[in-house]
Amino acid sequence: MLLSGVGPANQLRENNIEVVANRKNIGANLQDHPSVMIEYERKTRSVFQENLRFDRLFLNMVRAQLFKSGPATHPLGFGTGFVKSRPELSLPDIQLFFRLFLVQSREWFPLIREPGPTGIGLLACHLRPEARGTVSLASSNPNDAPRIINNFLASDMDRQAIRQAFKIKRSIAAQPAFAEHIGAEMMPGKDVRSDDQIDAFIRETAITVFHPIGTCRMGADEDSVVDPQLNVRGCENLRVVDASIMPDLVGGNINAPVIMIAEKGADYILGK
């Protein structure tokens, strides 16, 4: 919409774009789920790693397509749960993922390509961040990527929450039930102990889990980008039907809400 002249007037003029509708909040309110990983050595054999051998991987994919069974039909070693970073919270603000492989895992075959390292990863995702970012134009050239500023960890509350999530992950990994499976901490390592050290590690390694929302916020107020029927305010015959209309993040994956938005948007467009 920015390239088409719908957005903050000052930004459009700076990029020599004719202003069709001055909507100051288009591109504002960007939200996402920042996440951080801890990795551990694995003491037990990795079935996932074994099945990444080229021939086994091929056969498992065929089996999944033809018979809907086998390792390729299973989640990739995930376990998940929801916890609170502070006991006084009414809802969990952290989602934990227990992953039985490392991101460095890769396809392999004897004498041709070595397998990647084996390990176990614990990912913590901050579900309800305070920080808000922006999406804006870099230029009027549609081939130029936009400027995306997430502002991850810009809030003290966000930093405290994800730091506590980091400590919760460590406490889980240290439980006696995991002693025969989990070895030494590979990343960041046992020397990272103080809050300052943990915060530095989080700043260096925090990632997105690709849940961006909010830059075309829906609302009943005149400052919202779209109205409750998903019409862009100040324009005719223009709707936004995607995750950008969500005013706030949900406490989990955005897949289901996006499907709901698409269903409802289709009904509006068809006049149902």
Tokens read off for 185: 């901490």
pLDDT at 119: 92
Omega before residue 188 within 30° of 0, cis: yes
- pTM for the model stands at 0.89
The low-confidence residues of the chain, meaning pLDDT below 70, are 76-77
- CATH of 32-138+153-211 among 3.40.50.1220, 3.30.565.10, 3.40.50.300, 3.30.410.40: 3.30.410.40
Place of tokens 């100051």: 24
Spatial CB neighbours of 24, under 8 Å, sequence gap ≥ 6: 7, 8, 9, 223
pLDDT digits (tens, 9 = 90+) for 158-186: 999 999 999 999 999 999 999 999 999 99
Asked: is 1-31+213-272 a CATH 3.20.20.450 domain? The reply is no
For residue 190, how many other CB atoms are within 10 A of its CB? Answer: 8
List the helix and strand counts (H, then E) for the chain.
6, 10
Query: Domain residue spans in the chain?
Result: 1-31+213-272, 32-138+153-211
pLDDT at 77: 60
For residue 158, how many other CB atoms are within 10 A of its CB? Answer: 21
pLDDT digits (tens, 9 = 90+) for 113-153: 988 888 999 999 999 999 999 999 999 999 999 999 999 99
Active-site residue list: 211
Cβ burial of 127 (10 Å; 0-12, 13-18, 19+) is buried
Q: Please give the DSSP secondary-structure letter assigned to residue 226.
A: B
3 within 8 A of 137, measured Cβ to Cβ: yes
